Amino acid sequence: MAQDPTLPPKSGASAGGAHPSAVKPPLMTALYQTGRAVDAAVNAAFAPIGLSASQWAVLRLIDEQPGIAGAEIARRSDVSPAAVTTMLDRLQSAGLVERQSQPRGRIVGAFLTEHGRHRMGEGDAIAHEVERELTRPLGREGLTRVLDDLNSFVSTLNSRDKKEP
With respect to residue 71, please indicate whether it lies within any of the assigned structural domains. yes
CA distance 140 to 36: 24
With respect to residue 53, please indicate whether it lies within any of the assigned structural domains. yes
With respect to residue 64, please indicate whether it lies within any of the assigned structural domains. yes
Q: What's the pLDDT at 21?
A: 58
Q: What is the pTM assigned to this prediction?
A: 0.76
| Domains identified in the chain, total number | 1
How buried is 79 (Cβ within 10 angstroms: 0-12 exposed, 13-18 middle, 19+ buried)? middle
**DSSP bridge pairs for 109:** 69, 100
Domain boundaries, position 59:
49-134
With respect to residue 60, please indicate whether it lies within any of the assigned structural domains. yes
| Nearest partner of 124 among 42, 15, 67, 19, judged by Cα | 42
With respect to residue 66, please indicate whether it lies within any of the assigned structural domains. yes
Q: What's the pLDDT at 161?
A: 67
Please give the order of strands across the beta sheet that includes 97-101: 68-69, 108-112, 97-101
With respect to residue 123, please indicate whether it lies within any of the assigned structural domains. yes
Q: How confident is the prediction along the chain (165 residues), in pLDDT tens digits per residue?
A: 455 544 555 544 445 555 555 677 899 999 999 999 999 999 999 999 999 999 999 999 999 999 999 999 999 998 999 999 999 999 999 999 999 987 777 778 999 999 999 999 999 999 999 999 999 999 999 999 999 999 999 999 999 867 665
Q: What's the pLDDT at 12?
A: 46
Q: What's the pLDDT at 165?
A: 58
Q: What's the pLDDT at 107?
A: 79
Q: What's the pLDDT at 17?
A: 57
In this structure, the number of other CB atoms found within 10 A of the CB of residue 46 comes to 21
CA distance 51 to 127: 12
**72 within 8 A of 88, measured Cβ to Cβ:** no
Q: What's the pLDDT at 19?
A: 58
**74 within 8 A of 81, measured Cβ to Cβ:** yes
With respect to residue 151, please indicate whether it lies within any of the assigned structural domains. no
**Domain at 124, CATH number:** 1.10.10.10
Q: What's the pLDDT at 3?
A: 52
| Nearest partner of 18 among 8, 31, 27, judged by Cα | 8
With respect to residue 19, please indicate whether it lies within any of the assigned structural domains. no
